[in-house]
Structure formats: C-alpha cells, structure tokens
Amino acid sequence: MNSLNNLMENMPQNVDGVIISEASNRRYFTNFSSTAGVLIVSRRKAILLLDFRYFEMAKNKVKGVEVRCFTDLNSAIGDVLRCENLKNVALESFSVSVKQFEDYKKNFEDVNFVVDGWLDECILNLKSIKSYSEIEKIRASQEVTDAAFSHILNFICIGKTEKEVAREIENFILDNAQCVSFPTIVVSGRNSSLPHGTPSDKKLEIGDFVTMDFGAVVDGYCSDMTRTVCMSSPSNFQRELYSIVLNGQKLALKNIKQGVVCNDVDRLVRNYFEKYNYVEEFGHGLGHGVGLNIHEEPYLNRVCDTVLEENMVVTVEPGLYINSKMGVRIEDLVVVQKDGIVNLTNSSKELICI
C-alpha cells in the first residue's frame, strides 16, 4: 500500500480531511518537490494545489493525485474544503505557524480544525519506516557520500584549510548528486572538540584529528556520514580515544535490530564510555533517522522510547570530545532489519593517518 492510501485509511472518526503544507511531507505523499503548495487529502481523494511555477511539471509527473493550479491559495483551499464537504480538517501542528493557524480559522469559519497531534504522529510513523524504493534512494545517496570520502583522502594534506577541505567535499557531492544534505563540517585539531563546529581558515597541522561530517541528497533522500582521520601519526592517547569511540559504535551496530528500544541503544554506548570515565565527553545523542529530512524520527538518544522496526534508517554516530583539545566522531548509516542491520556506509573505520 502506498503512503497516501495509508494516510486515507488511518483517518480517525473525528477527521474527514487533512491539509499538508510542510514541504517534505507534501513531497512524501506526492513524490513531487516544490517550495510552496498545499496537499489536501480526504478519505477518497487527494488534491495538490500548486502555483504556476510548478503546475505544468506536476501535471505530467504526479500520479494518483489531482493537481490544480491556484492564483489565490486561500480561495483554492476554500473551494476544495467546500466541494469535498470537509468539516473536520486535521493540520500538521508541528509545522503550521501560529499565524497560519489563525488565518485558517479566520478564512474558513465553518471548518473545525483538528490539532490533536494525530496527523503529526501518523506522518512521522509512516515516514520513519522506509519502502524498498526509499531505501534504494538512500543507498544511492550514501554511495556518493562514501565516494566523496575516498576523494577527499587524496586531497587532504597538511597546510590545507578546513574550509578548503569542506569546499572540496561539497564540490564532489554537487558533481555527483542533487545537493548536499547539510553544510559540511570539517573541524581539525582543537576545533575538533566542537561536534558541530564550522569550517574555518585554520590550516591542518601535524598531529591534528580532522573530523568530517557530510552527506548528499539523491532523488530527495539524504545521507549522512562522519569520519575522523589523523594528520601524520597519532599519539597513544589519540589512538586510545579513537578505538574507544570505534568500539562503542561497533557495540551499537551489533545490538541494533527490530524490537530494540531507541534509548536502550543510546544507553548501551553511554555505559560503555563510562567504563573509561567518559561521561560529559559524549554530549549528544547516538543517532537519528534519515530520509527526506536529514534529521527525523526515530532518534537514538536518551529520551526516545520508539521501538525500532524493520526498514527504519538511522545513523549511529558516537563521539568523544575533549574540551579545547580534540574530538572523534564516527558515523554510519544503517537500515534496521529483523535480526540486525544493513550498513549502507562502506568507508573504512580503521584510523586513517595521512
């Protein structure tokens, strides 16, 4: 069953239609990407309202959804609500602004807007479990990202700046994919203790750890990976820190499968690091879902109690950060299976010294 039918059949009694305006949600249900537009879904049909910029393209491309061109969005929405006799309409409470909500209420006075969170939860659940074709897109996206890593290993050297390395990664991705899935992170030496630091003009120096976190988008679907390499030979301390992070990651990868609770996986790695007295040094969650959005459900962190299901796609990215000194993060992208995982990331994780 496709996602749209799933949504139609899951509508509770107090809802006879939904308005979907968030871009990645619209894209998810229609397979059509646009910066603006509204998708209205009732139990029996789906109507995508688009402006002139997208109309012709969508008319030829979108299947199973009626496409209409609007000049005045409010009156187009009003027409659909009236003609389809939609009186109880659910909204995405996670993404509709307060202003938009007030406008809806003002413009459509006889409509009861349902914002009880049902729609959000329904969409998040549907999106978190990937179809075969979604997984193939994520796989293709990760292949570009792996290739970008191989490419950068031939480029990176002492004297290059973090910005130069980041730009080279992004150029490679732009040459081979639709776009980058987020601004590339390249942090070196003491900057590598900043998990999401921005690339600077700092040059790579002997002894630096260099953490690179990047991803591509293919056919709308994101990928995400992180590797930390060492410029020339690592100290004993660097070797040890790296191997603790790597073993923590391997422990998580070994334990992820359908039926496992997200926060249990996070805790497993946290407890492992604690054995080495690293507590504060792992200050972020273990991972996150990836799909049309670079960060989405489910989250492998301390609080998420989602039970992992087959065909969820998540990152596994433990890191240890020693304040103002150095950091290590290793991130793979994996598909949850009944008995384990399929790892979509194929780059080596042994400590690479350049």
> What CA–CA distance (Å, rounded) separates 139 from 221?
9
Q: Which residue, among 266, 272, 169, has the nearest Cα to 224 in the 3D structure?
A: 169
Instruction: Scan for tokens 């422990």, then name that residue.
Output: 251
Q: Are 296 and 250 in contact (CB under 8 A)?
A: no
Q: In the complex with Mn ion, which residue's Cβ is closer, 37 or 195?
A: 195
Is 297 one of the binding residues for Mn ion (CB under 5 A)? no
211, β-bridge pairs: 187, 228
CA 157, distance to chain mean position in Å, is 30
Is 315 one of the binding residues for Mn ion (CB under 5 A)? yes
Q: In the complex with Mn ion, which residue's Cβ is closer, 4 or 304?
A: 304
State in angstroms the smallest separation of the CB of 162 from Mn ion: 18
State in angstroms the smallest separation of the CB of 128 from Mn ion: 16
Count of residues interacting with Mn ion (CB under 5 A): 2
State in angstroms the smallest separation of the CB of 239 from Mn ion: 24
State in angstroms the smallest separation of the CB of 332 from Mn ion: 10
Q: Tell which positions 172-231 bind Mn ion, by CB under 5 A.
A: 224
Q: Are 211 and 187 in contact (CB under 8 A)?
A: yes
Measured between alpha carbons, how far is residue 299 from residues 48, 156, 264, 348 in Å? 30, 32, 11, 25
Q: What are phi and psi of 162, to 5 degrees?
A: -55, -45
State in angstroms the smallest separation of the CB of 333 from Mn ion: 8
| Span interacting with Mn ion, options 155-163, 265-273, 296-304, 311-319, rule CB under 5 A | 311-319
State in angstroms the smallest separation of the CB of 180 from Mn ion: 13
State in angstroms the smallest separation of the CB of 152 from Mn ion: 17
Q: In the complex with Mn ion, which residue's Cβ is closer, 162 or 224?
A: 224
Q: Can you spell out the DSSP letters for 190-221?
A: GGGGSTTPPP-SPBP-TT-EEEEEE-EEETTE
State in angstroms the smallest separation of the CB of 288 from Mn ion: 6
Q: Which residue is nearest to Mn ion (CB)?
A: 224
Q: In the complex with Mn ion, which residue's Cβ is closer, 188 or 315?
A: 315
Q: Can you spell out the DSSP letters for 79-94?
A: HHHHHTT--EEEE-TT
Q: In the complex with Mn ion, which residue's Cβ is closer, 208 or 332?
A: 332
> What CA–CA distance (Å, rounded) separates 316 from 329?
10
> What CA–CA distance (Å, rounded) separates 279 from 223?
28
Q: In the complex with Mn ion, which residue's Cβ is closer, 114 or 138?
A: 138
> What CA–CA distance (Å, rounded) separates 215 from 223?
5
> What CA–CA distance (Å, rounded) separates 268 from 273?
9
Is 142 one of the binding residues for Mn ion (CB under 5 A)? no
Q: In the complex with Mn ion, which residue's Cβ is closer, 170 or 224?
A: 224
- Can you give the binding site for Mn ion, defined by CB under 5 A? 224, 315
